[in-house]
Chains A and B, each alone.
Chain A
Amino acid sequence: MLSFIQSTVGKKYLMGLSGLIWAGFIFGHMAGNMLILVSPDAYNVYGHAIVSNKILLYGTEIALVGALVAHVICAIFLTKQNRESRGHRYAMNPNGQKAASFASEWMAIHGSVILVFIILHLVTFKYGPHYETTVDGVVMRDLAKLIIEVFSQPMAVLWYLVALVLLGFHLTHGVRSIFQSFGLLHPAYQPIIRRAGAIYAVVVAGGFISQPVFVFLTRAVAA
């Protein structure tokens, strides 16, 4: 068990498993947040339902924090080890037919931006100003108001756009890579897996991007 985690192959399983947990979560997070396109009340009721279910809330939070810590620690170890293994750098890198994809070459870089993004995102929203509203007689946090406030600022929207595009790249390669790391590649499914990674990434990144853009266009510009 210990030697498994110490091996490069074992760390890739851990990396993939933790990535998969997050990949599952952000899909749900993206889908749920689409309610902001419906109405502020719908969004607040949804948010209130989540924070009211303490078991679901804390369970998810523990799983996510644990997975992120594991993911980042593995990323740091592997990236450091891989730099050392490469040793001397080349004057020129593979190109043309032999080039690697942009997404796969920069995993550690967009991954790091995503980490910064996750922290700032939590500070902005989860630990941000606490407004209140009442829907159908129930007092709850008015997150929609905060969202509209934040995404009325063009710079905030721009930062989310950049971070989410990078998340898209991270996921295109990441989701594909999981299949290889977990030993699930099969000649017959290889092309499908490549496409599935890209489709998943476009849906998640595209879905998320639509939210600040929608809020900005309907609130800030229209107002």
Chain B
Amino acid sequence: MSEKNINVTLKVWRQKNQREEGKFKEYLAKDISTDASFLEMLDAVNEELISKGEDPIAFDHDCREGICGSCGFMINGNAHGPLKSTTVCQLHMRNFKDGDYLTLEPWRAAAFPMIKDLVVDRTALDRIIKVGGFISVNTGNAPDGNAIPIPKTAADEAFNAATCIGCGACVASCKNASAALFTSAKISHLGLLPQGQVEVEKRALNMVGQMDREGFGACTSTGSCSASCPKDISLVNIARMNRDYMKASFSKKPEIHAGDGA
């Protein structure tokens, strides 16, 4: 075990709530173990703030295992920090040097209202899921395994898309604050499987529609999203979403309701 401790200076965005103006404030994180995670480093800084009677820095977190999608903020302009395929809770201080100067900013997007400091409201993403991120099946006994044959390649791709943890780093790092990567991952992980076929058109129309209504921007294929995605969700999903949406837009059939018929 390397027993090396470092000091880093933090420039942190502090904002009480949406109404009040925010500003950057500097803090010194002293004597931090390089084995500590980034959030553990913030815990240490907060302990000190609390002992001095100051307001601790608010940040979102839950599992601290890189699986829940709660954590996330910008470190020196990069969502979840400099390392690829990593959530900020899985980022360790050994990736930084003694004396580093780190600017911490919350996710910024018109569709992500400020809550406090590094915490923003990401329920816009939940609302996108709500309008189409499901399949309608009758509940009942669990079906037999492999009762529905699924090609391995489709299962793999669907599973990759399903690893999206909904952290919002894609939106945060995109110059257009586009939610295309997130939405397309949610559309793909159902749409690639036979169980997801029934609603494939409706799903694309509803989820893209909700994405636009929430005020996320348009994708311009910069690839910033995928580069900062902790789960390496691929741009191929966005292409699939566009294709599904285009097909659905031009083949949309009117819904027939009971009693409509002659």
What residues of chain A have their CB less than 8 Å away from a CB belonging to chain B? Answer: 1, 3-4, 7-13, 78, 81-82, 84-101, 104-105, 107, 173, 176-177, 179-187, 190
Q: How far is the CA of A180 from the CA of B74 in the complex (A)?
A: 27
Q: Which residue of A lies closest to B216 (CB)?
A: A85
Contact: B220 with A82, CB < 8 Å?
Answer: yes
Q: How far is the CA of A95 from the CA of B178 in the complex (A)?
A: 18
7 more CB-based (< 8 A) A-B contacts, given A8-B219, A182-B243: A10-B249, A90-B74, A91-B103, A91-B105, A94-B79, A98-B228, A100-B222
Interface residues on B, range: 35 or more
For the complex of A and B, list the 8 residue pairs with the smallest distance between their C-beta atoms, beginning with the closest.
A183-B243, A92-B77, A85-B217, A82-B176, A185-B239, A8-B218, A87-B110, A82-B217
Q: Does B242 contact A (CB under 8 A)?
A: yes
Q: Does B38 contact A (CB under 8 A)?
A: no
Across the interface, A85 reaches (CB within 8 A) one of B177, B209, B228, namely B177
Q: Which of B29-37, B43-51, B230-238 lies at the interface?
A: B230-238
Contact: A12 with B218, CB < 8 Å?
Answer: yes
Contact: B227 with A90, CB < 8 Å?
Answer: no
Q: How far is the CA of A7 from the CA of B83 in the complex (A)?
A: 34
List B contacts of A100 (CB < 8 A).
Answer: 175, 222-224, 227
Q: Which residue of B lies closest to A187 (CB)?
A: B236
The number of inter-chain residue pairs (CB within 8 angstroms) is: 166
List B contacts of A181 (CB < 8 A).
Answer: 219, 221, 242
Q: Does B173 contact A (CB under 8 A)?
A: yes
A interface footprint on B192-230 (CB within 8 Å = 1, 0 otherwise): 000000000000000011011001111111111001100
Q: Given A7-B245, A91-B105, A180-B238 in contact, is the A104-B77 Cβ separation under 8 Å?
A: no
Contact: B245 with A176, CB < 8 Å?
Answer: no
A interface footprint on B60-77 (CB within 8 Å = 1, 0 otherwise): 000000000000001011
Contact: A86 with B236, CB < 8 Å?
Answer: no
Contact: B209 with A91, CB < 8 Å?
Answer: no
List A contacts of B243 (CB < 8 A).
Answer: 182-184
Q: Which residue of A lies closest to B205 (CB)?
A: A3
List A contacts of B56 (CB < 8 A).
Answer: none
Q: How far is the CA of A90 from the CA of B236 in the complex (A)?
A: 27
Q: How far is the CA of A39 from the CA of B249 in the complex (A)?
A: 52
Q: How far is the CA of A176 from the CA of B218 in the complex (A)?
A: 16
